[in-house]
Amino acid sequence: MMIWRDGVVRGVRAAWDGAVELEVEITGPAPGAAGAPSPLSPGTAVSGPTPLSPGTAVRALAYPHLVGEPAVGDRVTLSAAALARGLGTGGYAMVVALPDALPPDPGAGPGHLVKARYTPLQTMVLGVDEQESAHHEVLREADDLGGMPVVVADLHSALPAVLAGIRSVDPELRVAYVMTDGGALPAWFSRSLAGLRDAHWLVGSVTVGQAFGGDLEAVNVHTGLLAARLVVGADAVVVAQGPGNLGTGTRWGFSGTACGEAVNAAATLGGAPVASLRVSGADPRERHRGVSHHSLTAYGRVALAPADVVVPRYDTGDALEASLPPGFGDRVAEQARALAAPAGIHRLVEVSTAGLGQALAGSPVRLSTMGRGLEQDPAAFLAAAAAGVHAARLAGRPVGNVPA
């Protein structure tokens, strides 16, 4: 389902690497409702479900690499179905085109990988693994990650927390991010990714599958991991989908099943897969309390190779620990046992969260998962950071003082 609107840019709200947030006034009437009065006053900013009537102001997001640089007064064509339904686009209408200011054709150059294939905004990129790439020979017969730790996480929001854990052990480790296509396809959507890059918490990003916009592009997770190791020179990698994720409230209908497939890829290539548990002490949905059913299914049913499943031992000794539900740590440990022998194939690795609250507080980007910050759901971020601690230790250069 597509819902189209015409609009005019009334202001530039914010910008970060690869994206511009705009205020756009809807100018075109809703189909079949020409002349209908707007339910909101002209210029009223809205979020969530809205009729998108003429005169309404909405937040819109443009990717200049795709549509060009928008300016105040430009006419824009918007895709607004998800906004109209109040779904997870961050409250944005998406700029599809600047009809009166289309960008010039790019110059001739290498690259024939098409991402977001056969959609109106399919884009052609140079794949790190394709024949025209300067790195093709490095990757052509590449088959070994050399034991590199690969942290696999369900949600994009785990990325800064995993990195905080890694840096609490060794801030000099070179860490890359491999972004899969279960959430946002353009890496540019992620303010966190831009902020982590600016803070030098990441040495590079690789977008794989249908995702695009990373420092490097790759066909799939396998070549993305190999590129992170052999081209970027990473000591460790974090694999997670882009912002947003898809779930249907069913056993199998969620995008996080890709976590199990990433474990398989890392193991197949001789890496050291580290499974970060999706944990919550505040999610109102019982299936996500303690260890989420997403982690239990992805690691317990999809992953066919063993991984180190990091089980956080919640002993921060501060207000974060005190805010956890009574017996929460025991609940997480008990749920995680289903992933190890005799029921499962994985190795459980207990990691203390002591010192990780301070590490997380030093994040250069805002910590938020499902709308909850560190104080509202500390269990989620501490679990991801603990996975980072274990990965840093596996990388073989621990210099920090985070206790076991």
CA 181/CA 210 separation, integer angstroms: 6
Tokens at 381, concatenated: 């971020």
Report the pLDDT value the prediction gives residue 42, as an integer from 0 to 100: 39
Q: Is 309 exposed, middle or buried (0-12, 13-18, 19+ CB in 10 A)?
A: buried
Report the pLDDT value the prediction gives residue 88, as an integer from 0 to 100: 61
CA 150/CA 215 separation, integer angstroms: 18
Amino acid 74 reads D
CA 224/CA 232 separation, integer angstroms: 10
Report the pLDDT value the prediction gives residue 401, as an integer from 0 to 100: 38
Q: Which residues pair with 273 in a beta bridge?
A: 150
- Contact residues for 227 (Cβ-Cβ < 8 A; gap 6+): 128, 129, 135, 139, 206, 216, 218
Report the pLDDT value the prediction gives residue 50, as an integer from 0 to 100: 58
Report the pLDDT value the prediction gives residue 199, as an integer from 0 to 100: 97
How many CA atoms are closer than 13 Å to the CA of 147, on its beta-carbon side?
Answer: 5
Domain boundaries, the chain: 4-97, 136-394
Q: Which residues pair with 23 in a beta bridge?
A: 11, 59
CA 299/CA 337 separation, integer angstroms: 12
Residue 258: name the closest of 154, 351, 107, 161 by CA: 154
Residue 95: name the closest of 196, 39, 22, 35 by CA: 22
Residue 320: name the closest of 282, 289, 266 by CA: 282
- Angle, to 10 degrees, between the axis of helix 378-394 and the axis of helix 158-169? 50
Report the pLDDT value the prediction gives residue 29, as an integer from 0 to 100: 60
How would DSSP label each residue in 305-358? S--EEEEEE----SHHHHTSPTTHHHHHHHHHGGGBTTT-SBEEEEEE-TTHHH
Tokens at 369, concatenated: 């998962």
| CB neighbours of residue 298 within 10 Å | 25
Report the pLDDT value the prediction gives residue 40, as an integer from 0 to 100: 36
Report the pLDDT value the prediction gives residue 36, as an integer from 0 to 100: 38
Residue 353: name the closest of 397, 317, 319 by CA: 317
Domain 136-394 in CATH 3.40.50: yes
Report the pLDDT value the prediction gives residue 31, as an integer from 0 to 100: 52
CA 11/CA 285 separation, integer angstroms: 38
| CB neighbours of residue 177 within 10 Å | 32
Low-confidence ranges of the chain (pLDDT < 70): 29-51, 88-90, 397-404
Q: Identify the residue whose tokens are 């916009």.
A: 213
Residue 390: name the closest of 273, 282, 296 by CA: 273
* Residue 292 contacts residue 278 (beta carbons within 8 Å): yes
How many CA atoms are closer than 13 Å to the CA of 256, on its beta-carbon side?
Answer: 30
CA 290/CA 332 separation, integer angstroms: 5
* Residue 35 contacts residue 29 (beta carbons within 8 Å): yes
* CATH architecture for the domain at 4-97: Beta Barrel (2.40)
Report the pLDDT value the prediction gives residue 35, as an integer from 0 to 100: 41
Phi, psi of 386 (to 5 degrees): -60, -40
